[in-house]
């Protein structure tokens, strides 16, 4: 009798544990489904205007830059290089995408985890420089924003370095893989070009190959030598920290993509799919 009572109690405990696990799994999946059907890429609720004549001016005023930003998401840092290179048409193409209906879907790449991607092709972007940082808020775990960051390591070849996720590690890939996301911000550190170039070179030569670890820095030195484990925003922070530049806006043990986004050491080059008025 006593054995049977213990056995029944054990079975009840197992049942409670299983029910709890089932509840957690259902909760996580419900959150993922909720995000899949409610998230949207921001676009203007005001009219698109013709900015061709403004872009043809020999010199742009502050008011011109403000209008262009409101029509394209490009700041002065994004506009000037395109005009200098004589590819004004690319600014107009960015404007078209800025106002367009977005064709994207939710791609589940892990349990309860997914990202929004363009159905085909990619969204146009500003000219990149070595050392630029790209931020994306369109990656989720259940209903929680994970976000993602990458570092431009070879602007001429269009190569970025990113710690993509479990099993992928820190590696280089084409910038095109990032601009399939229907929301992104291009950021530029407020340092000399020589430092940004050095950061990009150091990343290519010394950091590629580090294993992915979402908890990098939490239970160990935040900046270990050598770097063996990292994640997307930690790798970006680590590369610049090596050169004395701290991009972690709150200084915590864990560096998140939003810690990078809100760093006062960075300037905005382009905003797409996020409310531009949050960056002025």
Burial of residue 280 (number of CB atoms within 10 Å: 0-12, 13-18, 19+): exposed
Is the residue at 47 inside a domain? no
pLDDT at 27: 87
Question: How far apart (Å, rounded) are the C-alpha atoms in residues 207 and 23?
Answer: 40
Average pLDDT, the chain: 91
Of 41, 65, 96, which residue is a domain's last?
A: 96
Q: Are strands 266-272 and 229-230 parallel, antiparallel or unpaired?
A: unpaired
Radius of gyration, alpha carbons of the chain? 22
Domain check: are 213 and 79 in the same one? no
Domain check: are 197 and 72 in the same one? no
**Residue 170 CB: number of other CB atoms within 10 A?**
24
Domain check: are 194 and 63 in the same one? no
Domain housing 233: 104-279
Mean pLDDT confidence for 246-275: 94
What is the arrangement of strands in the sheet containing 144-145, beginning at the earlier edge strand?
104-110, 113-118, 139-141, 144-145
The CATH number given to whatever domain includes residue 176 is 3.90.1720.10
What 3-state class would DSSP assign to 269?
strand
**Reported pTM:** 0.91
Domain check: are 228 and 199 in the same one? yes
Mean pLDDT confidence for 33-60: 93
């Amino acid at each position: 009798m006593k054995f049977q009572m213990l056995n029944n109690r054990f079975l009840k405990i197992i049942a409670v544990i299983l029910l709890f696990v089932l509840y957690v799994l259902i909760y996580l999946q419900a959150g993922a489904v909720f995000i899949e059907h409610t998230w949207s890429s921001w676009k203007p609720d005001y009219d698109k205007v013709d900015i061709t004549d403004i872009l043809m001016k020999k010199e742009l005023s502050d008011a011109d830059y403000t209008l262009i930003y409101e029509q394209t998401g490009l700041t002065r840092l994004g506009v000037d290089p395109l005009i200098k290179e004589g590819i004004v048409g690319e600014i107009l193409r960015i404007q078209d995408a800025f106002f367009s209906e977005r064709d994207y879907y939710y791609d589940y790449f892990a349990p309860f985890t997914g990202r929004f991607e363009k159905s085909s092709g990619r969204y146009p972007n500003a000219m990149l420089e070595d050392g630029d940082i790209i931020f994306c808020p369109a990656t989720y775990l259940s209903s929680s924003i994970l976000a993602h960051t990458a570092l431009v390591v070879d602007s001429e070849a269009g190569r970025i370095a990113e710690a993509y996720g479990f099993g992928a590690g820190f590696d280089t890939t084409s910038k095109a893989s990032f601009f399939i996301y229907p929301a992104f911000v291009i950021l530029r550190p407020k340092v000399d070009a020589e430092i940004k170039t050095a950061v990009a070179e150091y990343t290519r030569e010394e950091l590629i190959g580090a294993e992915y670890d979402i908890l990098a820095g939490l239970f160990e030195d935040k900046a270990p030598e050598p770097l063996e484990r990292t994640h997307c925003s930690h790798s970006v922070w680590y590369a610049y920290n090596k050169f004395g530049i701290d991009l972690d806006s709150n200084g915590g043990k864990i560096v998140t993509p939003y810690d990078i986004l809100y760093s006062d050491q960075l300037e905005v080059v382009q905003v797409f799919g996020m409310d531009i008025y949050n960056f002025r």
